[in-house]
Amino acid sequence: MRFASVMAFKRVLIANRGEIALRILRTLRDMGIEAAIIHGREDRLSLPVRFADVAYPIMRSNPLDSYLDIEAVVKAAKDLNCDAVHPGYGFLAENAHFVKRLEEEGITFIGPASDVITLLGDKIEARAAMEAAGLPTAKGSSEPISSADVASSLADEIGYPVIIKAAAGGGGIGMQIVNKADEFEGALKLCQSRAKSAFGDSRVFVEKYIEGAQHVEFQVLGDGKNAIHFGERFCSIQRRHQKLVEEGPWLSDEKRAEIGALVCAGAESVGYKGLATFEFLRDSNGDFYFLEVNPRVQVEHTVTELITGYNLVELGIRVAQGEDLPITQDDVVIRGHAIQCRLNAEDTTNFIPSPGRLWECHFPSGFGIRCDTHAHPGYEMPGCFDSLLAKLLAWGPDRESAIKRMRTALDETIITGVDHLIPLHRRIMDEEDFLAGDITIAYIDEHDHLLG
Ligand code: ADP
């Protein structure tokens, strides 16, 4: 690996909490960079706050505001003399205004430029940009649609079913599947009003609904000029369009090289700097359709780290420091198979969050096991944030060995005090379709006997 002589960061502000804050903190330590962190009242005793070199409280009556108040976070970065801010995922990670404010203050945002975030945050624009770069997209509208007549004549052209999605969308909010023309009127109104209240932007668009699809995504790293990819992750086991199990690799070497070249071209076409994930749906014929780019580190980046051996968070920080890509595409070699189970504090029957104090908390270890968590005995799992308690990963030389190792690891995990998804994951690891790799995004709906 090349090490370029650039001005290294001395101190970085982590503008996040939970497992990802700890994940980033560890890498800053490894790199000899001081870790500063902001925190709200609920997190004042959390591990990342206790381990940080310096912690900066931002107390707000609404706990989310501690991590969402742009001016307060910018002030923290200035008061603490930070060279850069790492946003993690969620909160301000995809907020172009936040990135712009940091740019104005001369503080580096560890991620892409604000105009790239603005472009990619708009699904209509992102689709058009990636189509122009040669990526395959589902047939659909290239402009916002507000009339049911226009929508239904478009649907006649591309064929039913279609899906209406918010241009500013995220988290699967507002999406409506339409099977015939007379459903458009109501579905359009519903999607527009959900989009307006969730994102403050009522623009929606229509695209072909891909039936029996799988979710496959590519990990990319760009330095603003060039981009490389780290292969794919398979993330079709989802609840309410949110991932529960992620694994990789999934594709043949040929397909990986083909789609990988396209995503790199896509990233280079927008001058992408930092880590990105290009999400696709793959239909039953094996054809790919670009969905969106997530311009940040993702929860499941860990799967890719286990099968490539690269610390992606470190690479993201290094390109933010101004280094060129320190490795080439040929350096990225996939070895073995990795699976990640998200151990959410949730009820396994209905996925309702289960906050509370952890009385007992023991995580597994051993060869091929990784567990990223901020949880510990006595930890009070708050109800106001994401319910992710731990990410449990197993690596093996092949998928079968990784699954066996995951079963052992799940059996060794002890969490008492809150409900959690370990029983569900344990059942998935024994389920026939899962074992056969016969999995689409409808997996949880089609296997609801596993819940409960
Ligand atoms: P969001 O940004 O709201 O998460 P995405 O565009 O990434 O939205 O889609 C999230 C999920 O919604 C996908 O993983 C898939 O399950 C479903 N989805 C989105 N677009 C389509 C489509 N055209 N056909 C079928 N399912 C879709």
pLDDT digits (tens, 9 = 90+) for 196-251: 999 999 999 999 999 999 999 999 999 999 999 999 999 999 998 899 999 999 99
Cα 9 to the center of its chain, rounded Å: 25
The pLDDT score that the predictor gives to residue 14 is 98
Q: Tell which residue, 91, 130, 129, 94, has the closest CA to residue 111.
A: 94
| Band (452; pLDDT cuts 50, 70, 90) | confident
Is residue 167 in contact with ligand 1, taking CB distance under 6 Å? no
Give the closest residue (by CA) to ligand 1 atom 17. Answer: 241
Q: pLDDT band at 171, cuts 50/70/90?
A: confident
Residues 6 or more apart whose CB falls under 8 angstroms from that of 316 comprise: 110, 111, 221, 274, 275, 297
Q: Is the pLDDT of residue 381 over 80?
A: yes
Phi/psi for 413 (5° steps) reads -85, 130
Mean pLDDT of the region 438-448: 97
Cβ atoms of 122 and 270 within 8 Å: the answer is: no
Q: Whole-angstrom Cα distance, residue 257 to residue 235?
A: 19
pLDDT digits (tens, 9 = 90+) for 9-62: 999 999 999 999 999 999 999 999 999 999 999 999 999 999 999 999 999 999
- pLDDT tier at 4, thresholds 50, 70, 90: low
CB-based contacts of 172, cutoff 8 Å, min separation 6: 240, 241, 242
Task: Determine whether 134 is exposed, middle or buried from the number of CB atoms within 10 Å of its CB (0-12, 13-18, 19+).
Answer: exposed
Q: Which atom of ligand 1 is nearest to the CA of 173?
A: 3
Encode pLDDT of 132-164 as tens digits: 999 999 999 989 998 999 999 999 999 999 999
Query: How close is the Cα of 441 to the center of ligand 1, in Å?
Result: 9
- Mean pLDDT in residue range 407-435: 98
3-state secondary structure the chain: CCCCCCCCCCEEEECCCHHHHHHHHHHHHHCCCEEEEEECHHHCCCHHHHHCCEEEECCCCCCCHHHHCHHHHHHHHHHCCCCEEECCCCCCCCCHHHHHHHHHHCCEECCCCHHHHHHHHCHHHHHHHHHHCCCCECCECCCCCCCHHHHHHHHHHHCCCEEEEECCCCCCCCCEEECCHHHHHHHHHHHHHHHHHHHCCCCEEEEECCCCCEEEEEEEEEECCCEEEEEEEEEEEEECCEEEEEEECCCCHHHHHHHHHHHHHHHHHCCCEEEEEEEEEECCCCCEEEEEEECCCCCCHHHHHHHHCCCHHHHHHHHHCCCCCCCCHHHCCCCCEEEEEEEECECCCCCCECCEECCEEECCCCCCEEEEECCCCCCEECCCCCCEEEEEEEEECCHHHHHHHHHHHHHHCEEECCCCCHHHHHHHCCCHHHHHCCCCCCHHHHCHHHCC
**For the chain, what percent of residues have pLDDT higher than 90?**
95
Q: In this structure, what is the dihedral angle of CA atoms 301, 320, 114, 84, given to the nearest 10 degrees?
A: 100
Atom 2, ligand 1: which residue's CA is nearest? 170
Does the beta carbon of 241 sit less than 6 angstroms from any atom of ligand 1? yes
Q: Quick check: 68 pLDDT over 80?
A: yes
> What tens digit of pLDDT does each residue of 297-313 get?
999 999 999 999 999 99
Task: For strands 273-282 and 388-396, give the pairing.
Answer: unpaired
Does ligand 1 lie within 6 Å of residue 170's CB atom? Answer: yes
- Mean pLDDT, rounded, for 88-108: 97
Region 390-417: mean pLDDT is 98
pLDDT at 405: 98
User: Which residue is closest in CA terms to ligand 1's atom 6?
Assistant: 291
Pocket test residue of 291, 293, 300 for ligand 1, highest count of atoms within 8 A of CB: 291
Ligand 1 nearest atom to the CA of residue 235, by list position: 14
pLDDT, residue 1, reads: 73
The verdict on the CB of residue 372 being under 6 Å from ligand 1 is no
Mean pLDDT (whole number) for 264-272? 98
Atom from ligand 1 closest to the CA of residue 208: 23
Closest residue by CA, ligand 1 atom 1 = 170
C-alpha to C-alpha distance for 393 and 413, rounded to whole angstroms: 12
Distance of CA 215 from the midpoint of ligand 1 (Å)? 9
Through-space distance between the first and last CA atoms of the chain, rounded to whole angstroms: 48
Q: What is the pLDDT of residues 329-346, one digit of tens each?
A: 999 999 999 999 999 999
Q: Which residues are catalytic?
A: 296
Residue 164 burial by CB count (10 A; 0-12/13-18/19+): exposed, middle or buried? Answer: buried
Where does the pLDDT of residue 65 fall: very low under 50, low under 70, confident under 90, or very high at 90 and above? very high
pLDDT for residue 303: 99
Q: Tell whether ligand 1 has an atom less than 6 A from the beta carbon of residue 171.
A: yes
Tell me: pLDDT of 259 over 90: yes
Ligand 1 pocket test target in 162, 218, 281, 287 with most atoms within 8 Å of CB: 281
Residue of the CA atom closest to atom 23 of ligand 1: 209
pLDDT value of residue 87: 98
Ligand 1, atom 22, lies closest to the CA of 209
- What atom of ligand 1 comes closest to residue 441's alpha carbon? 16
Averaged pLDDT for residues 307-329:
98
Q: Identify which of 154, 160, 165, 242 to mutate to test ligand 1's pocket (most ligand atoms within 8 A of the CB).
A: 165
Asked if the model's pLDDT at residue 252 lies above 70, the reply is yes
